[in-house]
Amino acid sequence: MSQSQAQKKQEQDAYKKLAQKHQPKPPLLKNVIMAFLVGGAISAVGQAFINYFAARGMPPDKAGAPAAIVMVFLGALLTGLGVYDSIAKVGGAGAAVPITGYANSIVATAMEFKREGWIMGMSARMFQIAGPVIVYAVVSGVVVGLIRWFLAGVQ
């Protein structure tokens, strides 16, 4: 490295330190509380749907699947209407963690690339987000199934 490059690197490092020193600190406690409240509210809505399906005669252990479907639909709908972004601004990780956050990430990606067409735009870009999640879910299911099979075979 030449002397001018070394001097340039020192100046860049000094600038980074100065910028970090003057960067405002995020309101950590407020962010944590809002994430807890928003994530809890989303989860409470999901629990309300589970209770609704159970009250309609569905076994409580089976009511989670249709409730998850409704929550994914609501997450996608609110993203399409532009409401979920406002919720995410307030709730941060509290809006990203539940299943509605997954729906938001897929729909937002699809909407962003809508102008490129239905196939090469929306559909292809949507699976850039969904693909790894689906692969992880399938692989995790196989691993858990194998572990359960080995443990059941040992008994």
Q: Would you give the distance in Å from CA 107 to the centre of its chain?
A: 11
Residue range 122-152, pLDDT digits in tens: 667 777 777 777 788 889 999 999 998 888 8
Domain assignment present for residue 124? The answer is no
Residue range 73-105, pLDDT digits in tens: 999 999 989 999 899 999 998 888 778 888 888
Domain count, the chain: 1
Domain assignment present for residue 83? The answer is yes
Domain assignment present for residue 38? The answer is yes
Domain assignment present for residue 15? The answer is no
CA dist., res. 90 & res. 48, Å (int):
22
Structural domain range at position 81: 28-112
Domain assignment present for residue 43? The answer is yes
